[in-house]
Structure 1
Amino acid sequence: MEGNTFLFTVVSGLCFLPGGFPHHYILVEKEKTWTEAQSYCREKYTDLASLHNDQDLAQLIELTSSYHQVWIGLSLHNGNSWRWSLKMEGYYGEGEAEFRNWKSGEPNNIGGYENCVAMDNGGTWADDICNQTKPFVCYRGKKKNVVEM
């Protein structure tokens, strides 16, 4: 069923960006490395998912609850700074780019190779090896949340 898109309605409530625009996510069930997922999201949508607050987190938990882990758009830059893939001027409100929901003991960068972030089905985050393949979540402006198979 590759290429089919299914509408997924999130019932956890309304979520708004600083400008009052809803945040919409696309769950892609195809497994890709973090870099492949980033390229896919940038080509077809806007970018890998960025989460700004607890409302965004609740929306992604609802969308991804049947998956053990999914890639999100956070990665390690220059070995010391976690940053979101989406770097759009004026996109983040005050403090939104710093939102984190690390699992206890994370990030731990085991072996110095865990430079990308995966979210588990409970909504907590862990750093992981970027070359592993996982389903992933993309972000797109004002469209409805969808699941791609």
Structure 2
Amino acid sequence: MMSCSVTQFTFVSNNQTWDAAQRYCRSTFTDLVTVENEEINQQLVNVSQGKSFWIGLRRNRDNWQWSSGENVTYTNWNRNFFCAFVQSDGSWNNNSSSTKMPFMCYNGRQSKIYEYSGTSGHDRYSFQNSGHNPIWS
């Protein structure tokens, strides 16, 4: 029997500060999303339907760190402030943590493809290890 890890990404359209978004994601899901590569970055941009959103990347003094504690191995940047977000074109920017905007959470382990099931205020996607098209349910 083969098993694969599945990650559910949830776009939350309620505008929150970065800290409030992190608290919400950690209490309701797992954490703010970690973007591991360009493919996931582009899929998240598609999920957000052209809206900018917070991701789990924050600068602490000299270093950028993912909210989950993982090492930063991929970036797509413009930088000046301390918390990162994805813009509608997929490029990253940063802003003051007090700026309110939508955000992206994840639940489980991160991987690749997505499954959509709309809920009030949230759009949920599950990423799996194979395929490239959304599975709508």
Q: TM-score range by the shorter chain?
A: 0.7 to 0.9
Cα distance in 2 between the residues matched to 1:43 and 1:146: 21
What SS is found at the alignment partner of 2:35?
coil
Residue 101 in 1 paired to residue 76 in 2? yes
Q: Which residue of 2 aligns with 1:70?
A: 53
Report matched runs for 1:1-149 at 5 Å: 20-67=4-51, 69-77=52-60, 79-87=61-69, 97-102=72-77, 106-107=78-79, 109=80, 114-141=81-108, 144-145=115-116, 148-149=120-121
* Cα deviation digits, residues 36-73 of structure 1 (max 9, x gap): 00000000000000010122112101101231x21000
Check 1:146–1:31 CA distance in 2 against 1; reply closer, same or farther (3 A cut): farther
Check 1:42–1:146 CA distance in 2 against 1; reply closer, same or farther (3 A cut): farther
Deviation at 1:131, TM superposition (A): 0.1
Task: Tell me if the contact between 1:116 and 1:128 (Cα under 8 Å) persists in the aligned partners.
Answer: yes
Task: Tell me if the contact between 1:25 and 1:146 (Cα under 8 Å) persists in the aligned partners.
Answer: no
Letter of the 1:45 partner, please give it.
Answer: F
Q: 5+ residue gaps in structure 1?
A: 1-18
**Root mean square deviation, CA, Å:** 2.2
Check 1:30–1:99 CA distance in 2 against 1; reply closer, same or farther (3 A cut): same
Moved over 4 A (4+): 142-148
Cα distance in 1 between the residues matched to 2:87 and 2:116: 19
What SS is found at the alignment partner of 1:118?
strand
Q: 5+ residue gaps in structure 2?
A: 122-137
Structure having the larger proportion of residues in strand = 2
Cα distance in 2 between the residues matched to 1:73 and 1:128: 13
- Percent sequence identity is 28
* Cα deviation digits, residues 127-148 of structure 1 (max 9, x gap): 1010010000001117955555
Number of positions where the alignment pairs a residue of Structure 1 with one of Structure 2: 114
Cα distance in 2 between the residues matched to 1:34 and 1:145: 24
What SS is found at the alignment partner of 1:21?
coil
Check 1:36–1:54 CA distance in 2 against 1; reply closer, same or farther (3 A cut): same
Question: Normalised by the size of structure 2, how large is the TM-score?
Answer: 0.74
Cα distance in 1 between the residues matched to 2:53 and 2:94: 12
Cα distance in 1 between the residues matched to 2:101 and 2:30: 19
Q: Which residue of 2 aligns with 1:3?
A: none
